[in-house]
Structure 1
Amino acid sequence: MRERIKPMVRLFAPFIIFLAISAQSLGNRLLIPMDESQKNHLKAYGIAYWILKSYEMEMDWLLNYRGGSFMVAYNQQFASEMTVRGVSFEVISDGQAGQILNQISAEDVNMDAVKLQKAPRVAVYSPKSKLPWDDAVTLVLTYAEIPYDVVYDDEVLGGKLPEYDWLHLHHEDFTGQFGKFFQYKDYPWYREQKREAEGVAEKFQYANVPAMKLAVAKKISEFVSGGGYMFAMCNATDTFDIALAAEGVDIVEAMYDGTPADPTANSKLNYGNTFAFQNFKTIPYPYEIEFSDIDNQPDERGLTEPNDFFSLFQFSAKWDPVPSMLTQNHQTIIKGFLGQTTAFKNRFVKPEVVILAENKSAGEARYIHSTHGKGFFTFYGGHDPEDYQHRVGEEPTDLNLHPNSAGYRLILNNILFPAAKKKKMKT
């Protein structure tokens, strides 16, 4: 009997060894491709965030490799979750992963791998009252299943910002002119916004709403200087800098602060206080929805929806990892979209600010980034990357219809950037 068993052992031994080797060499990494093969680019970012947050596991962000793919150690729960969320992935061996990393590390290719280490704590600066327009960042965070807290003037002035790593500025008017929507002054949403802002100004003993909003902008500036990351879209970009430049100068008319604007205000602006812009002039007229000449307005741009596009710059992944991270995409030409602040005239962008994307023919920057103190900021023009001209009162964009939106991907690049182990930016 013993002799009859031995041949069976000999027969199955190689198979058992093969299975053991296979278990060790196959399926050891998960590659989340971010090129055209990805079924849902936006939820892929949510998966990356979920892994960092829930499992505290490092992962690789492969800059310029297949659209900025992600790679992480194999875990069946990760694979199952990606299947549930509709995110494409590939199971690869450690050997294949090593080949990818070797390819990326070659000196003659514009690729690099950065380690994502810790999920950032995310806050969105947004009013508690309901407004008749949506916000692209909260839409995409919700769709990608990335958690965030809502903070507003009360929390900022109350010193809550240091609890977070990443702050998005909702489409806010930091000059205290309520978006210059004075023509809507009798609408319930406008009255509620005004009541809320005046209540905060009174609570913190500011003379008026513009003074309170300036204090909020300065608190946010301190947050960034101390090492925080700020991302702003639409008119939260230019009004933030305008408010900082106009400290001590009355740039608003009497219906907002009880006193007329200083007619010489533009000669008194301090551009040394600003993050991104210089040499601009404010527009004080209360019925004019533009705040300054920073914004490239429709009649100046010479563009319409069919020919409105902007181009992402290509940076050196090895030498300029920060702008490379922020421009990862499966497309380099992005559809344009309007906003109360659509784009930034190039001539007003400070020389130290990195232009990440522009429409050269219109002379405008659409997407810019730089450091401020120990922190970082990114400004992105326009309101909604998948709604060319979003109007007050329109329904929010359904991102189920746009899971591969290149314009929305730029927002999510900014969410993951604080998770990356930093390398010095050379640009």
Structure 2
Amino acid sequence: MKKLFLLVLLIIGITTVSRAAYMLIPMDEETQKNHLKAYGITYWVLDKGEEAWWLLNYRGGSFAFPHNRLFELECLTRGVSFEIIADAQFNKILEDISNPEVNMDALKLEVPPKIAVYTPTVNQKGEKVQPWDDAVTMVLTYAEIPYETVYDTEVMTDMLPKYDWLHLHHEDFTGQYGRFYRSYHNEPWYRNNQRTMEALAASLGFAKVSQLKLGVVKKIQEYVVGGGFMFAMCSATDTYDIALAADGLDICADMYDGDPADPNAQQKLNFSKTFAFKDFQLRRNPLEYEYSNIDDTQDRNVRPDQDYFTLFDFSAKWDPVPTMLTQNHTRTVKGFMGQTTAFRKSLVKSDVLVLGENKPAQEVRYIHGTMQEGFWTFYGGHDPEDYRHLVHDPETDLNLHPNSPGYRLILNNVLFPAAKKKKRKT
């Protein structure tokens, strides 16, 4: 009986210690072995029904949650660095963070966001439609964050409200098939993609692919206005706004939709409809691998070894949203190219928040904005760890880049919807 009593006391003691402790997931450069999987751990903890804390600007934007043996084992399994700290020590961290003199804040994360990736996964024959990868799907897979895929049918049948966060895969929303005609129109993947998209447009009641894509753009806009979180990279950024500005116009040459483009389309663009960009000029040569002058890929004079952009510092207590989106273990991020690499600063609307820029080149790389109840973020470039990703290039192995600052920015956006909304200070 005495031994049984001691055993019960021991179990109670262990349980008490566990409940009175927190797990800190440090996100500074010196301590964290795998920054990317740390986001996956935090998502997984939320999915298990536990709340977590995002400690903005504290050791690189660390995470914390109540200690649990299962959570500890999962961190060990995924190779994520962690520290076990006493309850009193965690409360002291929160107290220090709350000091109005320090640029830090603690935000509670409550519910894991349900994630959708807008992507054409396969064609009618089950073949991969596009011969390139997507940074977001790669990092979600690597971080072990679950997601579902949607495409035009799901969007047009109003499936988006099921999701909290939507990523737009490398896409051409103008209906010009990525402007790949000159280089790839004789390749099987290009012809298959064109046939598949034309059939899909017809099945959804549209005469042209460009009209279908405009319909998709408007549905996504409704999703954002209603409170959704939309994230886009590479050509899904500028072509989204171009499609909105060109609503009701034909900007596609005959090789894309069977009839000529409106020669006066430029003068008829409506920039009041766009999310981010204004006063841009369409590139009228249909064989040019570019849509407009929003993107400065062809004109930028930046050497690869000097291609960096700088993240802005925001007030964690007054501006928690941009602070969340720029959490990193460095403020200087290596640049990377894409069909849409960077945005000309002069063409960005004044109410758009610039999160990261290459100031000498007068270009912005990472921008954010609101639209009524929702949020959107545009991120220039194709793959943060593949400087000049080309068609048919192999996927990046993220096991070689577990601490990528560029990929961290994507994952900041993924966890952003999980944050408990705080009343803005007045």
Fold shared, TM-score > 0.5 on shorter chain: yes
- The amino acid of 1:339's aligned partner reads G
Note closer, same or farther for the CA distance 1:232–1:99 as it changes in structure 2 (3 Å cut).
same
C-alpha distance in structure 2 between counterparts of 1:177 and 1:138, whole Å: 24
Shift of 1:65: 0.1
C-alpha distance in structure 1 between counterparts of 2:186 and 2:296, whole Å: 29
- The amino acid of 2:54's aligned partner reads W
2:125 matched to which residue of 1?
Answer: none
Deviations 1:174-218 (A, max 9, x none): 000000101211211111211221111101111111111100111
More displaced 10-residue stretch of structure 1: 197-206 or 142-151: 197-206
Shift of 1:284: 2.5
1:94 matched to which residue of 2?
Answer: 87
Larger radius of gyration: 1
The equivalent position to 2:39 in structure 1, one of 30, 38, 45, is 45
Deviations 1:95-125 (A, max 9, x none): 1001100110000000000010100010000
More displaced 10-residue stretch of structure 1: 344-353 or 251-260: 251-260
Note closer, same or farther for the CA distance 1:266–1:423 as it changes in structure 2 (3 Å cut).
farther
2:291 matched to which residue of 1?
Answer: 291
C-alpha distance in structure 1 between counterparts of 2:269 and 2:387, whole Å: 33
Note closer, same or farther for the CA distance 1:248–1:26 as it changes in structure 2 (3 Å cut).
closer
C-alpha distance in structure 1 between counterparts of 2:19 and 2:147, whole Å: 36
TM-score w.r.t. the length of structure 2 is 0.94
2:198 matched to which residue of 1?
Answer: 198
Shift of 1:128: 2.5
- The amino acid of 1:402's aligned partner reads H
The equivalent position to 2:53 in structure 1, one of 60, 85, 101, is 60
The equivalent position to 1:74 in structure 2, one of 67, 90, 113, is 67
C-alpha distance in structure 2 between counterparts of 1:197 and 1:138, whole Å: 22
Shift of 1:25: 8.2
C-alpha distance in structure 1 between counterparts of 2:302 and 2:166, whole Å: 32
C-alpha distance in structure 2 between counterparts of 1:227 and 1:363, whole Å: 32
- The amino acid of 1:365's aligned partner reads V
Partner-residue secondary structure (3-state), 1:140: helix
Deviations 1:12-44 (A, max 9, x none): x9xx89x94994488610000000110000000
Note closer, same or farther for the CA distance 1:86–1:160 as it changes in structure 2 (3 Å cut).
same
Note closer, same or farther for the CA distance 1:209–1:312 as it changes in structure 2 (3 Å cut).
same
Partner-residue secondary structure (3-state), 2:411: helix
Note closer, same or farther for the CA distance 1:95–1:294 as it changes in structure 2 (3 Å cut).
same
1:312 matched to which residue of 2?
Answer: 311
| 8 Å CA contact retained: 2:19, 2:66 | no
| 8 Å CA contact retained: 1:322, 1:425 | no
The equivalent position to 1:120 in structure 2, one of 109, 113, 120, is 113
Shift of 1:424: 5.3
Shift of 1:423: 2.9
1:105 matched to which residue of 2?
Answer: 98
2:338 matched to which residue of 1?
Answer: 339
Note closer, same or farther for the CA distance 1:25–1:341 as it changes in structure 2 (3 Å cut).
closer
| 8 Å CA contact retained: 1:42, 1:403 | yes
| 8 Å CA contact retained: 1:39, 1:404 | yes
- The amino acid of 2:341's aligned partner reads T
1:151 matched to which residue of 2?
Answer: 150
Matched, 1:169 2:162: no
| 8 Å CA contact retained: 1:26, 1:92 | no
Shift of 1:297: 2.0
| 8 Å CA contact retained: 1:169, 1:231 | yes
Deviations 1:120-173 (A, max 9, x none): 010000013322110000000000000111111111111111111110000000
2:159 matched to which residue of 1?
Answer: 160
Note closer, same or farther for the CA distance 1:351–1:148 as it changes in structure 2 (3 Å cut).
same
- The amino acid of 1:217's aligned partner reads V
Matched, 1:301 2:300: yes
Shift of 1:372: 1.0
Q: How many residues align?
A: 412
1:83 matched to which residue of 2?
Answer: 76
Moved over 6 A (4+): none
More displaced 10-residue stretch of structure 1: 265-274 or 234-243: 265-274
Matched, 1:136 2:135: yes
Matched, 1:233 2:259: no
1:208-287 matched pairs, under 5 angstroms: 208-287=208-287
- The amino acid of 1:325's aligned partner reads M
TM-score w.r.t. the length of structure 1 is 0.93
Gaps spanning 5+ residues in structure 1: where?
6-12
- The amino acid of 1:380's aligned partner reads Y
1:180-191 matched pairs, under 5 angstroms: 180-183=179-182, 184-191=184-191
Deviations 1:275-310 (A, max 9, x none): 111111111321111101000124x22112100000
Identity of aligned residues (%): 60
Shift of 1:425: 6.2
Deviations 1:74-114 (A, max 9, x none): 11100000000000000000110011001100000000000
More displaced 10-residue stretch of structure 1: 313-322 or 130-139: 130-139
What value does the CA root-mean-square deviation take over the aligned residues? 1.9
Partner-residue secondary structure (3-state), 1:339: coil
Shift of 1:237: 0.1
Partner-residue secondary structure (3-state), 2:44: helix
